[in-house]
Amino acid sequence: MAQAPLLSTPLRQLAQQLESRTRTGEELVEAAIDAAKTGDHGAYVSWRPESALELARAGDKVRAAGGNTGPLMGIPVSVKDLFGVPGFPTYAGCSRALPEHWQQTGPLIHALQSQLAPVVGKTHCVELAFGGLGTNSHWGTPRNPWDKRVHRVPGGSSSGAGVSLINETAALALGTDTAGSVRVPATMTGVAGLKLTAGRWPTSQIVPLSSTLDTPGLLAHRVDDLAYAFSALDPVVGKQGRQLPAVPVLASLTFGVPSAFFWEDCSPGIAEIVEQALMSLERAGARLVRFDFSGLNEIYGLFLQGGVAAPELAAFIRQELPEIVPTLDPNVAARLRTAEELPAWKYIHRLDLIKRLSVSAATELQGIDALLTPTVTLTPPAVDSLDEPGAYATAKHAGLA
């Protein structure tokens, strides 16, 4: 029986092996380097494992001397190219590197560094994180590893993050999420993704898309890996005073399943496999409540118009990066032109609508622990198919829940 690839080992197990010194951080980074030799599917805009190897060796020496710098010590991590990481240029998916101050370390990267978690490289993203499919006209689109024949999108905007896990060049991936930028690539590459509650973790030194909606996020092979990484980082960067809850018993949870909207126009197999998962949860003791969730068409209509992310990104570009406007990805540029024509009163109206619907949703979700829906409604499209007139907008709007 073939042995499972090393970097897909559960994070808790890897951490235990490192702590007991049956594995070393050097071995884990070398495994990432070996995996990259067989092809990284275009996951990285900057691949620099040499510095990661040096840090891993330093961590191994600290551990040999009896030291322990944290739960992620020695775990290879990939980082989305929106985060400032010293020694790595920050492109944010643009055609040129951003000003040097965007390379400076923010709280989240500092937390990784303080735990001696080696960063093996920075992963590709959609230009300025403004897109959910994962395409990029400047750098190319990472290849979804699950189709060996057809070049399919990996999901975006954290387009290289999920790929870095499947190709075994990282054990944990750091991304960002505004309207699906962690959850979409996680789903399209078959891993797990976590968008944080807004304000839980700081966003400083992360190139912004939306000051209202941006959050850091995590991608990993399984949900328990996300829980492990979250519990490793939250005490350092999370809002002080918030305690991590105990792991609940499944039978104590109530899940809400919206009756419509999320299930419409799904590609063959998507709704069916999600329904199978729901039935498995129910058989295991969870309570499912199917209900009509109000406001979905209203908020989706707002999303189709660019929401608040489009005008907030337009403001950021004009304030900080006006020189990149002539070279913007055509798909990004088209959406920003529309945003720049938006009157101020409409932007305020959109903010008010989000607040109002959030209050309404909180009321409707009382007694419900989580919503369960398909994350995306379409099979990842072939990159070439998006060249057809209108195909990109159709896939972006109709396919992403």
Distance CA 343, CA 318 (A): 16
Distance CA 184, CA 243 (A): 28
In contact, 224 and 324? CB cutoff 8 Å:
no
What angle is formed at CA 195 by the lines to CA 284 and CA 192, rounded to 5 degrees? 50
At residue 290, φ and ψ (nearest 5 deg) are -95, 135
DSSP state of 374: -
The yes-or-no answer on residue 148 being catalytic is no
Instruction: Decide the pairing of beta strands 287-291 and 254-258.
Output: parallel
* The residue to which tokens 């387009």 are assigned: 159
β-strand partners of 291: 258
Contacts of 267 (CB under 8 A, 6+ apart): 377, 378, 379, 399
The yes-or-no answer on residue 396 being catalytic is no
Q: Residue 351: which of 309, 322, 300 has the closest Cα?
A: 309
Residue 294 tokens read as 């109000």
Distance CA 226, CA 268 (A): 29
Distance CA 156, CA 176 (A): 10
β-strand partners of 289: 256
* The residue to which tokens 């101050």 are assigned: 101
Q: Which element (helix H / strand E) includes 174?
A: strand 172-177
Catalytic residue among 46, 78, 157, 159: 157
The yes-or-no answer on residue 210 being catalytic is no
Distance CA 193, CA 345 (A): 35
3-state secondary structure 261-292: CCCCCCCCCHHHHHHHHHHHHHHCCCEEEEEC
Distance CA 106, CA 294 (A): 38
Distance CA 124, CA 136 (A): 9
In contact, 230 and 194? CB cutoff 8 Å:
yes
Q: What does the radius of gyration of the chain's CA atoms come to, in whole angstroms?
A: 21
Catalytic residue among 181, 195, 210, 396: 181
Residue 302 tokens read as 């707002």
As annotated, the active-site residues are: 80, 157, 181
